[in-house]
Structures are given as structure tokens and as C-alpha cells.
């Protein structure tokens, strides 16, 4: 019998510079379902491994927000093209009441900036040699400061949130169309559910658009159990993960880590909490919107009122 679970969402908090590596490890291990392997010593070797293998999307889950004075020299940042995940703006600092140049982005964007434009300042200030592209690089910008990790007092493009959701493969497929967000997903290729680690069973999400215990529900459940039987039989014949995943249905449970800035989250909620979106996407996105509203009521009040409260 397949295991049935419900959709869930939580925020993975990140507030301090010295938590960046453990946050990245926590996000990355979701892909391999190896969260149990985490100890106080494992973050650095895990990150070295993913950087060596080129699996760099995992380091997109940690974002740092910087400020620097508005000077002609610092203005160069606006001319550096072809770096995804990097955001720059000139904003009124609500604390110092002066115009300030704000730059934020994820660790991958700062490494791309270093590789493509030989600008290493952001990685140097973050200070972890694991992420450096060049040792002993010379900084370029004037009076660069770190203003926050993931969150800041600046606008919605300079505030980020990482969420962990349990949803179905259909919802994950829809949500990953959003190009300005970063994702790490449990791999259906590397997770072989016939193995003991997964209880030798498939896990499905309870469908939110098929009434529980209705005739249609029982037909759906039978189809899920038949697929599980076939999956285990194929595994007995020696099928590998690449072959086994060919029969997984949209209802299969997926763990999804997703990071974006508030501006992109708002865009995603406007499309995916809307009644036109598939019910299973609406379900998971409404859970995430509720979590975001708890952190930043001022950014999300309007959407919370529109999609959740009313
Ligand atoms: C109800 C619904 C039904 C859908 N049905 C289908 C379907 O049948 N088939 C299908 O293929 N897809 C479908 N989609 C997916 C949809 O077409 C988008 O791919 C998805 O919603 C991503 O949103 P987005 O393109 O607005 O922006 P995101 O990828 O979230 O990007 C945010 C913004 O960045 C900008 N941007 C990002 N990348 C580029 C770029 N390369 N060029 C220009 N601007 C860019 C745009 O301004 C964009 O609005 C559906 C979506 C919804 C909500």
C-alpha cells in the first residue's frame, strides 16, 4: 500500500553569516534525502563536493545584502551584465536617511560576478574561502558593507525567503517554471524507493481535488497501489532509478526547496494562488504565502487578504 501524506510548507530560516554553509547543506541534502547524514562537520565537505561537481544551483539558496555609498566608482555595478540572481538599486536608507547603493544576490551570483567580471569584493566580505574564485583578489568597490543575510531593511528585491515544501510532482513541475527563483528537489533518479531507506514503498500526496472516500478517490488509490506494485516488481528485475521513475505519477510526493526574493514571491503568488492555477499548486503556494505573511506582514498583507483571509 502506498503511503499517503498531506502537503506541508515551512520556512528555512537564515539570519547569520556563519549559518550560510549549514543552510546550504540542509537545502542540498534534500535532493539526495541524506538529511540524516548532517553533523557539525559535514557542511564544508558537502559544499566542496557540490562545487566540484558543478551542481552550483544549491548555493543559490543563501543570499547576502550589501550597501555602499553612491559614488561614480561604485556605479560600475549597474554595468556588469549577464549575472543572474544579482539585484542592484539606489534606495533611501530608512535608518540613515540617505541615498545608498544596495546590491544583493546569492552566493552563486557572486561567484559568477568574480568569474565573468573579475569582481571579488562580495565573496571577500562573505569571507569563506570555500566560495572564493581567486585567492588574494583585490577589492574594487568603496566602503562596501554587509547589511543582512536573507533579510534587510531595504525594498522587496533585497529580502529573500527559502521554503521547504512537501507537494506533489505536478505542483513542483508547475512551480519550477518560475525562472527568477532557485530550486532543489528530491531527485526521482537518485532516490530508489524500493530500498529500505524509503521503507520500500511509494509516498503520494492526498489529492486536494478528489473527494476523499468517493468512488473517484478509490479508483485513484487503486491506480497508485498498482503503480507501486509495478515499481517494486521492476526493481526486483534490477531496474535502476532512471528506469523506475518512468512510471511515477503526478501525485508522487516531492520535497522542494525554493528560494526567491519577495518581489518574485509576490509575482508567483499572484499567478499560483489564483483560482486559474491547478488546485495542488494553489494549495502549496497558499501555505507558503501564509508563512511569508507571518515574517513580512507589510510586504504580503494585500495578497494574504486576497487569497487566504477572504
Ligand atoms: C494558470 C496558468 C496556466 C499555465 N499554462 C501553461 C501551459 O499550458 N503551458 C505552458 O507551457 N506553461 C503554462 N503556464 C506557465 C506560464 O506560461 C509561465 O511559464 C509561468 O507561470 C512562469 O511565469 P512568468 O513567465 O510570468 O515569470 P517568471 O519565470 O516567474 O519570471 C518573472 C518575470 O521575469 C521576467 N522574465 C524572466 N525570464 C524572462 C525571459 N527569458 N524573457 C523575458 N522576461 C523574462 C518576466 O517579466 C517575468 O514575468 C501556466 C501558468 C499559469 C499560472
Coil, strand or helix at 121: helix
Query: Which DSSP state fits 133?
Result: S
The rounded percent of the chain whose pLDDT value lies above 90 is 88
Closest CA to 192 of 230, 148, 143, 242: 242
Q: Is the beta carbon of 157 within 6 A of some atom in ligand 1?
A: no
Domains and CATH numbers, the chain: 3-12+160-309 (3.30.1360.170), 17-158 (3.30.1360)
Question: Given a cut of 80, is residue 187 above it in pLDDT?
Answer: no
Residue 191 has pLDDT above 90, yes or no: no
| CB-CB contact of 117 with 80 (8 Å) | yes
Q: How far apart are CA 158 and CA 22, in angstroms?
A: 22
Asked if residue 180 has its Cβ within 6 Å of ligand 1, the reply is yes
The tens digit of pLDDT for each residue in 114-170 reads 999 999 999 999 999 999 999 889 999 999 999 999 999 999 999 999 999 999 999
Closest CA to 17 of 120, 136, 107: 107
In degrees and rounded to multiples of 5, residue 41 shows phi and psi of -100, -5
Phi, psi values for residue 32, rounded to 5°: -105, 0
Atom of ligand 1 nearest to the CA of 174: 15
Residues 6+ apart with CB under 8 A from 99: 70, 90, 91, 92, 93
Say if residues 268 and 285 touch (Cβ distance below 8 Å).
yes
Is any ligand 1 atom within 6 A of the Cβ of residue 256?
Answer: no
Distance (angstroms) between ligand 1 centre and the Cα of 274 equals 14
277 CA to centre of ligand 1 in angstroms: 12
> 211 C-alpha vs ligand 1 centroid, how far in Å?
30
Evaluate if residue 225 carries a pLDDT over 70: yes
Atom of ligand 1 nearest to the CA of 276: 1
CA 192, 193, 199 angle in degrees (round to 5)?
A: 135
Q: Which residues contact 307 (CB under 8 A, 6 or more apart)?
A: 269, 273, 274, 286, 289
Rg over CA atoms, the chain: 22
**Measured from the CB, is residue 178 less than 6 Å from ligand 1?**
yes
* Cβ(59)–Cβ(51) below 8 Å: yes
Look at ligand 1, atom 43, and give the residue with the nearest C-alpha: 179
CA atoms of 58 and 107, how far apart (whole Å) = 9
Ligand 1 centroid to Cα of residue 177, in Å, is: 6
Q: Using one digit for the tens of pLDDT, what is the confidence trace for 14-55?
A: 999 999 999 999 999 987 778 888 888 899 999 999 999 988
Distance 141 CA to ligand 1 centre (A): 35
179 CB within 6 A, ligand 1: yes
How far apart, in whole angstroms, are the C-alpha atoms of residue 103 and residue 247? 45
Q: Is the CB of 277 under 6 A from ligand 1?
A: yes
The response to whether residue 176 sits with its C-beta less than 6 Å from ligand 1 reads no
Whether 196 has a pLDDT exceeding 70, the answer reads no
Amino acid at each position: 500500500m502506498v503511503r499517503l501524506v498531506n502537503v506541508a510548507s515551512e520556512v528555512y530560516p537564515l539570519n547569520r553569516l556563519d549559518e550560510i554553509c549549514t543552510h546550504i547543506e540542509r537545502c542540498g541534502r534534500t535532493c539526495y534525502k541524506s538529511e540524516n547524514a548532517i553533523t557539525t562537520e559535514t557542511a564544508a565537505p558537502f559544499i566542496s563536493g557540490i562545487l566540484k561537481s558543478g551542481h552550483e544551483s544549491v548555493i543559490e539558496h543563501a543570499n547576502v545584502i550589501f550597501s555602499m555609498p553612491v559614488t561614480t566608482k561604485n556605479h560600475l555595478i549597474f554595468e556588469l551584465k549577464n549575472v543572474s540572481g544579482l539585484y542592484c538599486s539606489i534606495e533611501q536608507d530608512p535608518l540613515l536617511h540617505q541615498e545608498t547603493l544596495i546590491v544583493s544576490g546569492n552566493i552563486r551570483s557572486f561567484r559568477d560576478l568574480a568569474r565573468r567580471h573579475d569582481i571579488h569584493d562580495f565573496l571577500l566580505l562573505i569571507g569563506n574561502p570555500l566560495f572564493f574564485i581567486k585567492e588574494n583578489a583585490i577589492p574594487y568597490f568603496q566602503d562596501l558593507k554587509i547589511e543582512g543575510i536573507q533579510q534587510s531593511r531595504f525594498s522587496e528585491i533585497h529580502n529573500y525567503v527559502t521554503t521547504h515544501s512537501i507537494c506533489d510532482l505536478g505542483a513542483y513541475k508547475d512551480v519550477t517554471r518560475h525562472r527568477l527563483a532557485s530550486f532543489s528537489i528530491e531527485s526521482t533518479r537518485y532516490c530508489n524507493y524500493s530500498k529500505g531507506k524509503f521503507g520500500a514503498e511509494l509516498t503520494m500526496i492526498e489529492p486536494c481535488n478528489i473527494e476523499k472516500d468517493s468512488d473517484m478517490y478509490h479508483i485513484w488509490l487503486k491506480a497508485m497501489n498498482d503503480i507501486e506494485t509495478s515499481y517494486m516488481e521492476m526493481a526486483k528485475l534490477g531496474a535502476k532509478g532512471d528506469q523506475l521513475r518512468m512510471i511515477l505519477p503526478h501525485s508522487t510526493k516531492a520535497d522542494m526547496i525554493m528560494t526567491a526574493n519577495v518581489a518574485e514571491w509576490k509575482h508567483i503568488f499572484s499567478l499560483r494562488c489564483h483560482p486559474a492555477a491547478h488546485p495542488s499548486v494553489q494549495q502549496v503556494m497558499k501555505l507558503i504565502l501564509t508563512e511569508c505573511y507571518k515574517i513580512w506582514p507589510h510586504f504580503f498583507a494585500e495578497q494574504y487578504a486576497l487569497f487566504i483571509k477572504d
